[in-house]
Structure 1
């Protein structure tokens, strides 16, 4: 048996041992690379997006493989392995690094059967052309759920909100989009946007700037909408929902400013409201669950008359609701 000392003295012995070890490693690597794409993609699906991207750099064989994922989640944690500090402005180079990573991943992605695209990162209108391309990817992949929150509070001073391009979404029967959640952006809708929204089952707008005409477009076009959430978004001082949403079952509204709210819906079952409002309610025969956060006592005089059929009622009264 060759001793370690012999190997140190005789370089040929040392070389042959190293060469044998390398051939062993190469053989193992080749065996793994010979597996079908479907199996390799399944292996990648157990990794984070960051590690999956790194793994594809191992060889040409892995370069064009994509993890078999039902949801693509792009966040600071999934791409960089850390959460962003809530009290610190995001720097431009960090934003650029995030955008490049998403661009690269989507460009090389070859997977199928994606139902969700999630992007949670502080991005403004500076990167509009990149985000627009991500929306085009949604259209091409027939994705059912979009969840995008651009965290406006962490943007640099002077950066503008991103304007979500509804016109890039598929329209009519070509649309697969069922669920849309937007945060910290602009949503400028017109009557021509109606055909892009008609397929939605759920819509959530959080800290979104939307015009009164945009809300009217939502009310008139989202005939399949089951759940509507308007959270800390721009709302008119007077808002009446009078049966425009024929499938609506859940309505959640959170408003910073006092408003007049009128509600009439033959299908509504759940209603949540946080804020200060002059509230009127009629023709809601199926409304069973109500949760109200209010700064006033106005609700006590009207609830018994307006919604006597409610089964679950929760009232949280405070001197000031924020």
Structure 2
């Protein structure tokens, strides 16, 4: 009896094992169980796009299917952190540090170049080149990478270059105005020269522009803005060549304007009719709002650390032109306190 039960248990176990083997073989009862390899390609791309960059690259190394979707990876954030190059061993003395920084820069450029040259150009939507900590940038690489991205129909482009460079990189503006490839919606540049001319085509899709430590004159900026009819957000920081910022009335969609730390700046003149938020940081300058803008401004922030009488200027000159302001934030370290002026301001 025991032997019969024993043999029955073995037979039952073998039956279950056989059933499991059939499932692993991809069939059960004559029906084929779908494999992950049978998923549509667009689903693979969607799954892959949700992975962080380093995980997506590792998946591509482990799977032929993910390798195909890696060549169409949409959001490329390329920096020493995202590529695993952030650990630098600093030794005693400047020479050791310079060698470590040079090696990191060389490895970073090698990896970025490999990634972009092996990208198919299909599906690329966002490219971030964060090179601010590199000790030397080869501009030939930059031009090639930008050409690849723009040709692919990039929508968001961010490029941050080192703070101290002997010669500023001259951004190839003509790349952004090449007919059907004018697809940029978001552009953020830092540490370069940007020289748009009056003859360039309009920005058909640009909605957000941020320029930081960019060499561009007031006239060049005005030429750029006068052809940016879809612009909604504009930020300018540490642009040392700008003397006057003029916002043309054609910018009907512009709602956010921020200007800060432009050392030669003397005046901001805005005629865009729908700006609701205005932020200013740095040495205080003449600010004027024209057209129907005065009815739209709701939020103003002004921070000046080296001047006095900011409160007086805002109260007497600025506020009368923007009667519908709901939030006003002013910071000034050198302001001279006056009880009568404060009382008058509060009233």
TM-score (norm 1): 0.75
User: 2:311 aligned with 1:302, yes or no?
Assistant: no
Change (3 A) 1:163 1:268: same
**Structure 1 residue 286, shift from structure 2 partner:** 1.3
Pick one of 241, 265, 272 that aligns with 1:265: 272
* Residue 150 (structure 1) aligns with: 161
* Residue 236 (structure 1) aligns with: 242
Change (3 A) 1:265 1:56: closer
User: 2:125 aligned with 1:102, yes or no?
Assistant: no
Pick one of 168, 173, 184 that aligns with 1:177: 184
Provide Cα deviations, 1:242-298, integer angstroms capped at 9, x if missing partner.
425333211110024252222333221111111221223333221121111123323
Change (3 A) 1:60 1:260: closer
Pick one of 313, 322, 330 that aligns with 1:315: 330
SS state at 1:97 partner: helix
* Residue 291 (structure 1) aligns with: 301
**Structure 1 residue 233, shift from structure 2 partner:** 1.4
CA distance in 2, matches of 1:233, 1:84: 31
CA distance in 1, matches of 2:50, 2:197: 42
**Do 2:208 and 2:233's aligned partners in 1 also have CA atoms closer than 8 Å?**
yes
**Do 1:152 and 1:161's aligned partners in 2 also have CA atoms closer than 8 Å?**
no
Change (3 A) 1:125 1:168: farther
Pick one of 131, 142, 150 that aligns with 2:142: 131
**Do 2:240 and 2:262's aligned partners in 1 also have CA atoms closer than 8 Å?**
no
SS state at 1:100 partner: helix
CA distance in 2, matches of 1:179, 1:147: 8
Deviates more, 1:87-96 or 1:212-221: 87-96
* Residue 253 (structure 1) aligns with: 259
Change (3 A) 1:304 1:107: closer
Pick one of 59, 65, 79 that aligns with 1:75: 79
SS state at 2:138 partner: helix
CA distance in 2, matches of 1:46, 1:309: 43
Provide Cα deviations, 1:82-126, integer angstroms capped at 9, x if missing partner.
2789x9768333222211211111222247433211111135884
Larger radius of gyration: 2
* Residue 18 (structure 2) aligns with: none
CA distance in 2, matches of 1:79, 1:243: 43
CA distance in 1, matches of 2:88, 2:255: 35
Point out where structure 1 has 5 or more consecutive residues left out of the alignment.
1-26
SS state at 1:151 partner: coil
* Residue 227 (structure 2) aligns with: 221
Change (3 A) 1:282 1:42: closer
Deviates more, 1:210-219 or 1:256-265: 256-265
SS state at 2:273 partner: coil
**Structure 1 residue 201, shift from structure 2 partner:** 1.0
Aligned residues: 286
* Residue 16 (structure 2) aligns with: none
Deviates more, 1:307-316 or 1:107-116: 107-116
Change (3 A) 1:132 1:51: same
How big is the alpha-carbon RMSD for the aligned residues of Structure 1 and Structure 2? 3.4
CA distance in 1, matches of 2:115, 2:322: 51
**Do 1:56 and 1:63's aligned partners in 2 also have CA atoms closer than 8 Å?**
yes
**Do 2:121 and 2:148's aligned partners in 1 also have CA atoms closer than 8 Å?**
no
Change (3 A) 1:296 1:222: farther
